[in-house]
Amino acid sequence: MMEASFIHIYSKKNTDMTKFTYSLLILASAFLMACSTDESTVDPDGDGDGGSVEPVTLQLVDKSATDETKALYANLWDVQSRGMMFGHHDDLLYGREWYAESGRSDTKEVCGDYPAVFSVDFAEVMDERYLSSDLNDDRKRTIMEARARGEVITACLHLNNPKTGGDSWDNSDNTVVKGILEEGSEVNMTYKVWLDRLATFVTSLKDENGKLIPIIFRPYHEHTQSWSWWGSSCTTQEEFISFWKFTVDYLTLEMGVHNLIFAISPQIDSEGTVDNLLYRWPGDDYVDFIGMDSYHGTNTKSLATNSRNLATLSKEKLKPCGVTETGIEGVRKDGKEYTDYWTQEIMSAMYGKGVSLVVMWRNKYDPTGSGYHYYGPWIGHSSANDFVTFYESDYMLFSSDLPDMYEAVEGITVQ
């Protein structure tokens, strides 16, 4: 049974038998790790159907969510038993050597396909950069293009500090969130205007049929860390939880936004436990998607363990899960380009764990090649061939591999 399941990993996309054999060898360790540490694998029967879907009822935070949002949520749950979607932050907005060019993607230029998940940042449509950002029109355009291809969109927030005027990493004042929660205060009124702008933007995102585009919305990410004005050094547990609930309620109840799937994402880099994922948990009725940011470097065991913990909590709470940010700056190891990074670090750690997605951080636009701020694939990096091998795995899902993520899934009810 295990051998049949493993062979199926590379049987769909790869017809070159030489490369196929090489792929089997290079991922043998990944398969053994998955089988020895986790009972759940994609297509456990080896029959090519990804395993049967057990009837389940899932709960969304927003009981007035659109049908398409409910359908996406069902598919996020279903896909966990079938494979893992590859994502890349800002992949459609700019790349290592290009900027705001329609149709381009560093991922596509390496493997011939777009990512299954397009990650963007909504901060500049909300805070005081909303009039000056040169990418806001392109954010909307690329989201609509991604939806037209059937891809999944997720959004984070690197918001400026609404009290001090500093950036997201300005943690000089530990009363910002406290002030936001004080009805009628200056910072409360400022922040509500920001949320109003977000609501306007999100409800303007519509597909070719005029239907609202669902977004996996990931505010206040990495709240386990100290560097952000909403983070662990600037808020108490009670303040963070109240802030989260305030945001969810304001958007859904006050502003009538019904196309958001609310995702939480603690950052866990070292090997942790399931309980680490519940740090300042706002409650099951205020979280839809269990995310995790992981900047673990080459600690493959850490990513494997924490991915397994994600899947465990996902099953316990009946909420889909995924690695919402990860990667190594420059895709480097020991000061050199890491040519086998994709198969040796991402695939070997995450194969068969039962999470819906993995999203790499951005490739900064840097046409002169003066720095190493890139985390995803691009054609000029020595790991490009390894990424093609990674792409050819049936386990990794890219844009053309996706089912209709916006149609209901038989056997999965979303309330």
Catalytic residues: 222, 325
Token pair 């049967």 is found at: 52
Written as one letter, the residue type at 80 is: Q
> Which residue stretches of 216-342 are H helix?
237-249, 300-317, 341
Torsion sign (Cα): 366, 198, 105, 289:
positive
62 φψ region: left (φ > 0), alpha (ψ -120 to 50), beta (else) = beta
3-state secondary structure at position 296 = coil
Q: Angle at Cα 191 formed by Cα 186 and Cα 194, nearest 5°?
A: 135
Kindly compute the dihedral angle of the four CA atoms of residues 295, 301, 306, 308, in this order, to the nearest 10 degrees.
Answer: 140
Distance CA 50, CA 53 (A): 9
Q: For residues 52 and 278, give the distance between their C-alpha atoms in angstroms, rounded to a whole number.
A: 30
Is the separation of the CB atoms in 51 and 42 below 8 Å?
A: yes
Bridge partners of 260, per DSSP, are: 215
Q: How far apart are CA 187 and CA 259, in angstroms?
A: 26
Q: What's the sign of the alpha-carbon dihedral 93, 94, 98, 100? A: positive
Question: Based on the number of CB atoms within 10 Å of its own CB, is 39 exposed (0-12), middle (13-18) or buried (19 or more)?
Answer: exposed
Closest residue by Cα to residue 188 from 260, 251, 247, 123: 247
> Is residue 93 a contact partner of residue 105, using CB atoms and an 8 Å limit?
no
d(CA 147, CA 125): 19
Give the integer Cα–Cα distance in Å for 403 and 75.
8
